[in-house]
Structure 1
Amino acid sequence: MLLDLALYLVTPAPWRHRRLGYVRESILLTSRARRCRRAWAPHCAAARAAMLAAATDLPRRETVVVLGSGGLADVPLAELSALFRSVVLADAVHPLGARLAARRHGNVRLVTVDLVAEAGAVGALCGSADLTISANLLSQLPIVPLDRYEARHQPVPEGLGRHIVAAHLAALDGLPGRVCLITDVAQREEDRLGRITDSLDLLHGVTLPAPPRAWDWEIAPFGEAEAERRLIHRVHAYPDWAARRPSSPA
């Protein structure tokens, strides 16, 4: 708790992003990633492999943009820095650990951007990129806007979550370079007997095509959220989103 508070106070971020709750969400996610490092390891390895697969056969490797880079737990920064002349990490908040990691590579640049509120940001950042990676971002985009309405005890505009998800996909579809999309799509809650006790659609009704790669992400092991429950996310990965090659999920 004290560590989280200290990180909240010292993490650089625009006042607007701090006021909207982006810094709080970033600290909570970074802390969970630290606590659940072992449980997250298979997911992070699979995500990194999908990102590198997207980069292997590109005809040109000038610029890669990682949207939702966050704490870099699932981003192979060293490998991307070696493959591309320029690496752009884009997120609403860049935690201190990510900032330190970026400084080790002379070709890495940080961009602080609210990808929900700043219309056209994806196109402006990624319009000339050879590869754009949407890194476990899609399901996260609606969280802060929806929480803001709930905190104010205001009714949530109908379809807001779905609209935010669809808008990000539309922005990715408009990019000329290759797009790698990695996103969690559904959450299930399990008890210790493996029974599903609850489930949640993380994309608010938006359905994605069958992915070339898919896996389970134990995002909250037993004892993290509840003693007798764990949360598992289903993840879809599309190393080449434009191709949308259907395959049997792993």
Structure 2
Amino acid sequence: MLEEFWHYLGVRTASREAFLLGYAREMAALQARQRRCRQAWSAHIQATKHALLNAARGLDNSGGAALIIGGGSAHDLPITELLQYFEQIVLLDIAFSYPTRRLAKRWPGRVLCLPHDVTGVVGWLAQHPRIPLQELMMKPPVPELLVNPRWVASVNCLTQLPLLPLDWLANAGTESSQLEAFGRALILAHLNWLDSWQTPVCLITEIEDQRQGSNEQLDRTDYRPILADYLQQANQLASWNWLVNPPGELPGGVWESRTVAAYLK
């Protein structure tokens, strides 16, 4: 808990509303968990870095800017290696850890941290938690960038985008059927937003997660049906398993794993 508190002090969020919805707390918890589970996460982190580099190598030439969504905690990003392919790397996220901000300072002008709510709904939710969901803006606004990226990557964040907004709405009494529809809409909106850049996109995302007990499977979520239309038009680069919560991390002998895949479109 003390380690998480120190991480929490170093987090900077995109807005006051993002702080209210718990993004600073979530980033601090991620940083602490990554350290606790570094051995179990090692293969996933290396696979993520390899997939990003593989996608970047496929570009016709070097230079220009890369936009990486989900870059608030850069432990899974091969920043040094990507700078061989791009003149500038813009990390976009709703919250940034202190280690990531410190990392960006190593390359002033070449690595930038851009705080931004990629869902486009956090401000609405913080101010109007009980408004009808259909009134929420479902097309995330394009962030203001000094340059247009020639390559975009969405890294290990797609299925996480709805989590805190849904928690906020659930606490406000929103019905479960509405929550499910809203979460699906946020995921699809992000995929449409990626397409809007009209540039090569590398998507790294979980496509399935499982929760296991000591002798049985407790829960399973398959994201492939939601992603089907997008993935039919993309080339799969790789797929791997991620032991996201190894035995001992969760109470009751429960552990969780994810199937992660990288795509290029």
Aligned to 2:8: 8
Structure 2 unmatched ranges of 5 or more: 122-138
Return the letter of the residue paired with 2:9. Answer: L
Which residue of the other structure, out of 85, 101, 104, is the alignment partner of 1:102? 104
Measured on the aligned residues, the alpha-carbon RMSD in Å equals 2.3
Is 1:165 matched with 2:164?
no
Which residue of the other structure, out of 115, 118, 124, is the alignment partner of 1:115? 118
Contact 1:139 1:203 in 2 (8 A): no
Deviations 1:41-76 (A, max 9, x none): 101111111100111131243110100112112111
- SS of 2:160's equivalent in the other structure is coil
Deviations 1:106-133 (A, max 9, x none): 3101100000126544475598211101
Counting only pairs closer than 5 Å after superposition, residues 191-230 of structure 1 correspond to structure 2 as: 191-192=213-214, 195-201=216-222, 205-207=226-228, 208-209=231-232, 211-230=236-255
Question: How many aligned residue pairs are there?
Answer: 239
- SS of 1:164's equivalent in the other structure is helix
Counting only pairs closer than 5 Å after superposition, residues 44-123 of structure 1 correspond to structure 2 as: 44-60=45-61, 61-106=63-108, 107-117=110-120, 119-122=139-142
Contact 2:7 2:31 in 1 (8 A): no
- SS of 1:224's equivalent in the other structure is coil
Return the letter of the residue paired with 2:5. Answer: L
Is 1:41 matched with 2:42?
yes
What percent of counterpart residues are identical?
Answer: 31
Contact 2:166 2:183 in 1 (8 A): yes
Deviations 1:67-115 (A, max 9, x none): 0112112111111123210110000011001111111123101100000
User: For structure 1, which segment, 214-223 or 199-208, has the greater mean C-alpha deviation from structure 2 after superposition?
Assistant: 199-208
Structure with a larger share of its residues in helix = 2
Contact 2:188 2:226 in 1 (8 A): no
Contact 1:190 1:198 in 2 (8 A): yes
Instruction: Note closer, same or farther for the CA distance 1:117–1:123 as it changes in structure 2 (3 Å cut).
Output: closer
Contact 2:207 2:260 in 1 (8 A): yes
Return the letter of the residue paired with 1:3. Answer: E
Structure 1 unmatched ranges of 5 or more: 242-250
Q: CA deviation at 1:172?
A: 1.1
TM-score, structure 1 normalization: 0.87
